Chains A and B, each alone.
Chain A
Amino acid sequence: MSPSTLFAATGGFDPLTGGEVMVAQNIAFAIMAVTMLVSAVRMVTTRNVVHAALYLVIVLAGAAGVFILLGAEFVGVTQVMVYIGAIIVLFLFGIMLTRGSFGDDDGVDGERRSMAAMVGALVLAVMAAALVDTFRDAELSRAQPSLTADVGDLIFSQYIVPFEAISVLLLAALIGAIVVARGD
Chain B
Amino acid sequence: MYLNQFLLLSAALFATGVYGVLARRNGVLVLMSIELILNAVNINLVAFAAFGNQPAGEVFALFVIAVAAAEVGVGLAMVLLLYRNRKSIDLAQIDLMRG
Contact = CB atoms under 8 A, between A and B. Distances in A.
B96 to A, nearest CB: 17
Given A56-B36, A59-B39, A91-B31, A29 B1 contact: yes
A131 B8 contact: yes
Contacts of B49: 70, 72, 146
Given A1-B8, A83-B65, A170-B66, A70 B47 contact: yes
Nearest to A22: B1
Interface string A9-49: 10000000000001001100100010011001101100001
B23 A49 contact: no
Interface residues of A, number: 94
Interface in B39-57: 39, 42-43, 46-47, 49-51, 53, 55-56
Interface residues of B, number: 71
B63 A162 contact: yes
A34 B16 CA distance: 14
Contacts of A56: 32, 35-36
Given A56-B35, A127-B11, A139 B3 contact: yes
Given A108-B25, A173-B74, A40 B13 contact: yes
Nearest to A94: B76
Given A66-B6, A124-B14, A146-B49, 5 more contacts: A43-B32, A71-B50, A93-B76, A120-B19, A135-B2
5 contacts: A40-B12, A74-B58, A94-B80, A108-B23, A137-B2
Interface of A: 1-2, 4-5, 8-9, 22, 25-26, 29, 33, 36-37, 40-41, 43-44, 49, 52-53, 56, 59-60, 63, 66-67, 69-72, 74-75, 78-79, 82-83, 86-87, 90-91, 93-95, 97-98, 101-102, 106-108, 112-113, 115-117, 119-121, 123-124, 127-128, 131-132, 135-141, 143, 146-147, 150-151, 154-155, 158-159, 162-163, 166, 169-170, 172-174, 176-178, 180-181, 183
Interface of B: 1-9, 11-29, 31-33, 35-36, 39, 42-43, 46-47, 49-51, 53, 55-56, 58-59, 61-63, 65-74, 76-81, 83-84, 87-90
